[in-house]
Amino acid sequence: MGRYFNWQRLTGTLLCAVLLGSCGGGGGYAGIDGSGAKPELSVVGPINGFGSVIVNGVHYNTDQARVYVRGEPASEIDLNVGDYVTVVGGTNAEGEPVAYEVHYQPRVTGEIQWIDVERNQLSVLGQVIQLLVDTVYASDIMPQNIHGLSVGKHISISGPLDANRVIQATRIGFDESSFAELVGSVEQLNVFARTFVVNGQLVSYASVASSSGLSNGRLVVVRGSVVDEVLEAEELSFHQDYRNLRHIPRIELSGIIQETKSDGLFIMDSVPVKTTSQTTFSGGDAASLTANAKVRVIGSIDANDVLIAQEVKILSSPHTKIYGSIQEVYPIWGYYWLLGKIKVQDQEFLVQADTRLTGEYDRRINFWDLRIGDQVYISSYTWGDLVIASSIAVDNRDVQAMPADLMGGAYFLSESTQSFFIFGTKIVVGPDTLYKKGEAAIDSAEFFRSGNGAFVRVLGYYEYGYVRATQIQIYVPDYSKPYTGVPGYYGKPR
């Protein structure tokens, strides 16, 4: 679904959104429907699913919630799986998490400038966007990968920024609006030239009537149009600034560490976070807090506008993506975080509360909607002997002869039949197939000699019952360089 909202009505709405605090007051919160209920929590992360709104694996009742998209009143139907949102809420008398408000703002909106299929990257407004194994694609992008995109298409992207200032896309979709927009921290502010820079993109605010509050380091939303590679701002807003949440006692933030400093301090998307001797860790320890680590932090903002972490969870990134039919569905009872498991290509995948679930045409589904025989794209990661589903996209449309983009371990290599398998998908190679090991070109003989068990990415086309490969790359990790979001690619992208 494309999104269009009338930005001419935004000036008052953006500045008066509850995330900013009440207009003309002391930053207080009016409460849902004027009830005066005070916010107890705020959660920032991607939407995992619906049936209420599920963020970071927790269901938030939205029966009475106000929804804002780009700062303007909207409805829950305008939200999608993968959207990075801010939920402001509390708990009801039964202890159920309740959303008072849900705010969604795309990270960047504009025309695609270039596409790099090998790196699974593209650029919008000078921003490098990394498409991930579990990026959610709007249903009108066909096929459901980078091959469904083209230069010049107007799109919007949601997701956090990594240590290399690359947007790690949680969702990508075509956008029906005509404007360009960008979210990021103000840098190189020049009040005389009326310009500043956001993540490398030059912005002119000469046409903005009021620039009150503009300062270096402030998180700003810029909306305007591109003229000679300059983003000419028509509106500036600060409704995404994390400091607007300082009055809320419990804040949960999911994202990527951009920079580590001394004394337990690190930066997540412009938010300074500090661990203390009281901080508890799961999924790792304090030594795991390195640049580009994916984490979830729970804490509160202190008087110095630092998020003091009470809990830190180190999150795993998916590394495998396949396509196939659901063979079996097993619900699992008794665990709030575990819904069940499914079998695809003879491999069992655990489905958790934070697994992103989507249906055809952006249909909203939950675990109970999965059926044996459904065709699904499934991304996953391993945890010990378990394989965890990060996202499941049901798509029963015919994918034959469409571009394929798969990742996983290569097994049952057979030079005589010129084929191998990723899980249960048969990959067939031919005389025109290109082979790479890391960035170096190799030949067919070397691939079949050294590729068994290796982690590979396969580009090609679906045919009846198999994938015909046009390119195969063996990933050779270099752990001395920072991870950029795709296995095997390290260091700063171009």
Name the domain count of the chain.
6
pLDDT band at 27 (very low <50, low <70, confident <90, very high): very low
In a domain, 485, yes or no: no
Query: Which residue from 393, 455, 461 is spatially nearest to 428, judged by alpha carbons?
Result: 461
* Residues 24 and 97 grouped into a single domain: yes
* Residues 15 and 91 grouped into a single domain: yes
What is this structure's pTM?
A: 0.85
Q: Quick check: bond before 143 cis, omega within 30?
A: yes
* Residues 365 and 286 grouped into a single domain: no
Residues 6+ apart with CB under 8 A from 364: 49, 50, 51, 81, 358
Q: What is the dihedral of CA 173, 117, 350, 411, to 10 degrees?
A: 160
* Residues 96 and 12 grouped into a single domain: yes
In a domain, 340, yes or no: yes
**Of 314, 330, 351, which closes a domain?**
314
Rounded mean pLDDT of 235-262?
Answer: 92
* Residues 100 and 112 grouped into a single domain: no
In a domain, 242, yes or no: no
**Of 104, 120, 149, which closes a domain?**
104
174-178: Cβ within 8 A, 24+ apart? 174/2, 174/138, 174/140, 174/141, 175/2, 175/3, 175/4, 175/106, 175/109, 176/2, 176/3, 176/4, 177/2, 177/3, 177/4, 177/5, 177/109, 178/154
State the pLDDT at residue 269: 84
Strands 271-274 and 167-174: unpaired
CATH number at residue 438: 2.40.50.140
> Residue 389: which domain range?
320-394
State the pLDDT at residue 51: 81
Q: CA-CA distance, 253 to 19, in Å (whole number)?
A: 15
Rounded mean pLDDT of 345-364?
Answer: 91
In a domain, 215, yes or no: yes
Q: CA-CA distance, 165 to 256, in Å (whole number)?
A: 11
* Residues 112 and 100 grouped into a single domain: no
* Residues 368 and 442 grouped into a single domain: no
* Residues 439 and 462 grouped into a single domain: yes
- DSSP helix/strand/coil, 47: strand
In a domain, 98, yes or no: yes
Q: What angle do CA 212, 217, 223 make, to 5 degrees?
A: 60
In a domain, 408, yes or no: yes
Query: Which residue from 159, 305, 313 is spatially nearest to 241, judged by alpha carbons?
Result: 305
- DSSP helix/strand/coil, 373: coil
* Residues 89 and 131 grouped into a single domain: no
CATH number at residue 379: 2.40.50
Q: Identity (one letter) of the amino acid at 478? A: D
In a domain, 296, yes or no: yes
Does residue 24 have a pLDDT over 60?
A: no
Q: Taking a C-beta distance cutoff of 8 angstroms, is the pair 103, 78 a contact?
A: no
Q: Give exposure, 171-187, as e/b (b: 16+ Cβ within 10 Å).
A: bbbbbebebbbbbbbbe
* Residues 282 and 329 grouped into a single domain: no
pLDDT band at 384 (very low <50, low <70, confident <90, very high): confident
* Residues 390 and 334 grouped into a single domain: yes
Does residue 483 have a pLDDT over 60?
A: no
Q: Identity (one letter) of the amino acid at 300? A: S
pLDDT band at 478 (very low <50, low <70, confident <90, very high): low
Q: CA-CA distance, 213 to 56, in Å (whole number)?
A: 32
Residues 6+ apart with CB under 8 A from 489: 119
pLDDT band at 13 (very low <50, low <70, confident <90, very high): very low
Does residue 321 have a pLDDT over 80?
A: yes
Rounded mean pLDDT of 55-60?
Answer: 93
Rounded mean pLDDT of 74-80?
Answer: 94
Does residue 17 have a pLDDT over 90?
A: no
CA distances from 240 to 34, 219, 223 (A): 23, 7, 13
Does residue 176 have a pLDDT over 60?
A: yes
Q: CA-CA distance, 235 to 224, in Å (whole number)?
A: 7
pLDDT band at 80 (very low <50, low <70, confident <90, very high): very high
CA distances from 48 to 58, 162, 364 (A): 9, 20, 11
Phi/psi of residue 166, nearest 5 degrees:
-100, 135
Query: Which residue from 215, 203, 270 is spatially nearest to 240, judged by alpha carbons?
Result: 270
In a domain, 163, yes or no: yes
pLDDT per residue over 210-219, tens digit each?
A: 888 899 999 9
Q: Which tokens hold the place of 324?
A: 């196939």
Q: CA-CA distance, 456 to 79, in Å (whole number)?
A: 34
pLDDT per residue over 407-449, tens digit each?
A: 999 999 999 999 999 988 999 999 999 999 988 999 999 999 9
**Of 237, 264, 279, which closes a domain?**
237
Q: CA-CA distance, 99 to 42, in Å (whole number)?
A: 9
Q: What is the dihedral of CA 363, 364, 368, 369, to 10 degrees?
A: -10
Tally of CB atoms within 10 A around 334: 5
* Residues 131 and 206 grouped into a single domain: no
Q: CA-CA distance, 479 to 488, in Å (whole number)?
A: 9
Strands 250-260 and 271-274: unpaired
Q: Taking a C-beta distance cutoff of 8 angstroms, is the pair 435, 475 a contact?
A: no
State the pLDDT at residue 336: 83
Query: If you write DSSP's letter for every residue of 142-155 in order, what string do you get?
Result: SSSSGGG--TT-EE
pLDDT band at 480 (very low <50, low <70, confident <90, very high): low
